Amino acid sequence: MATAGSIRELTEKIRHRAVELGFQKVGFADALYSQRDEARLLEWLALGYHATMGWMFNRKNERGDIKEYFPEARSVVAVGMNYFHGEASGEMKISNYAWGDDYHDVLKERLRELLNFVQEQSPGVRGLTSVDSSPVMEKSWAQRAGLGWIGKHTNLISRDFGSWLFLGELILDCELEFDAPFEEDLCGSCTACIDACPTGAIADEYLLDANRCISYLTIEHRGDLPFEFEDQLHGWIYGCDICQEVCPWNEKFAVTSKEEAFAPRKEIFERSGESWRYLSEDDYQKQFKGSAVKRTKYKGLRRNIAANL
């Protein structure tokens, strides 16, 4: 049976190794069910604010209770990696997070290394790695692990990096020493993100309607854009950073990422607005190889470009 001392030692070893692997934020949470978090998820789904993202509804039980996803879960290691490289500009804009390599690949590889490290330190431990494609409420777990708070735009905000963080989780079947959850709401009376959203996607404080979100429309939505949003992309052809760019915490605490994998690909920035009109499928495949932009597919990107012309 593990002692308090050995649990504390393993926890600190994991924290240290996570930082070595390039994670700027690391926290530990007890893998307990939260009725509040599940209720918030179910309310959001009942409102239809997940739009056509059926997988959010189909795996709601696992999202709402981590033990439905991994029954042996006892601890959640929540991590954050800074990706900020500046604000998008120009006639055709791509969200900051997609300027470099696909974050899913980068974070999953590092989390697998972290899991291997844990298993070297404590043979027999089992775990799962998660980066937002898994049915895990990553922002809730990050808040419960003390990384930051969920802002009015529904992104996680940290004191030291703002909201420019990729999140991931390592779910383990062993006990660790847990951090205190981040209980403060440091948004205060600020409504900058709500006021700045051009499509009214932030339906209420802490409540996002994906149906109206430029990021959803340019990435996850398939087929023609809804009529009312055909001319409402405001220059964005993949994702949208408006609600993050106006956040005072980002204006004050944004730090340029040192992660080379997220460095901007020059092909994106050297391409003029007019030349996007002539983007061929071959160009698309070459330019966005290993990029998150592949999520929208060539047809979707062409649709977004056309809507902005």
Q: How far apart are CA 16 and CA 98, in angstroms?
A: 28
For the chain, give the secondary structure using H, E and C: CCCHHHHHHHHHHHHHHHHHCCCCEEEEEECCCCHHHHHHHHHHHHCCCCCCCHHHHHCHHHHHCHHHHCCCCCEEEEEEEECCCCCCCCCCEECHHHCCCCHHHHHHHHHHHHHHHHHHHCCCCCEEEECCCCCCCHHHHHHHCCCCEECCCCCEEECCCECCEEEEEEEECCCCCCCCCCCCCCCCCCCHHHHHCCCCCEEECCEECHHHCHHHHHHCCCCCCCHHHCCCCCCEEECCCHHHHCCHHHHHHCCCCCCHHHCCCHHHHCCCCHHHHHCCHHHHHHHCCCCHHHHHHHHHHHHHHHHHC
- Of 178, 197, 172, residue with least CA distance to 67: 172
Tally the C-alpha atoms within 13 A of residue 219's C-alpha that lie toward its C-beta.
19
Asked if 134 contacts 170 with a C-beta cutoff of 8 angstroms, the reply is no
Are 53 and 210 in contact by the 8 Å Cβ rule? The answer is yes
The whole-number pLDDT of residue 1 equals 55
Mean pLDDT of the chain: 96
Beta carbons within 8 Å of 124's beta carbon, 6+ residues apart: none
For residue 1, with 0-12 CB atoms within 10 Å meaning exposed, 13-18 middle and 19 or more buried, which class applies?
exposed
Query: Mean pLDDT over residues 114-135, rounded?
Result: 96
Question: Whole-prediction pTM value?
Answer: 0.95
| 301 has a pLDDT exceeding 80 | yes
Q: Is 231 a catalytic residue?
A: no
The confidence score (pLDDT) of residue 273 equals 78
Q: Which amino acid does the sequence have at 5? A: G
User: Could you tell me the CA-to-CA distances from 165 to 20, 108, 173, 191, 254 in Å, in that order?
Assistant: 17, 15, 26, 21, 10
Q: What is the pLDDT of residues 136-178, one digit of tens each?
A: 999 999 999 999 999 999 999 999 999 999 999 999 999 999 9
Examine the pLDDT at 298 and tell me if it is beyond 80. Answer: yes
Q: Which residue would you say has higher pLDDT here, 18 or 90?
A: 18
Of the residues 105, 132, 173, 283, which is catalytic?
Answer: 132
Mean pLDDT value across residues 79-100: 94
Range name among 131-135, 174-178, 187-191, 292-296 with the lowest pLDDT average: 131-135
Q: What is the pLDDT of residue 272?
A: 78
What is the token pair recorded at 241? 């950073």
Number of Cβ atoms within 10 Å of the Cβ of 229: 18
Rounded mean pLDDT, 214-226 = 97
pLDDT of residue 267 exceeding 90: no
pLDDT at 270: 77
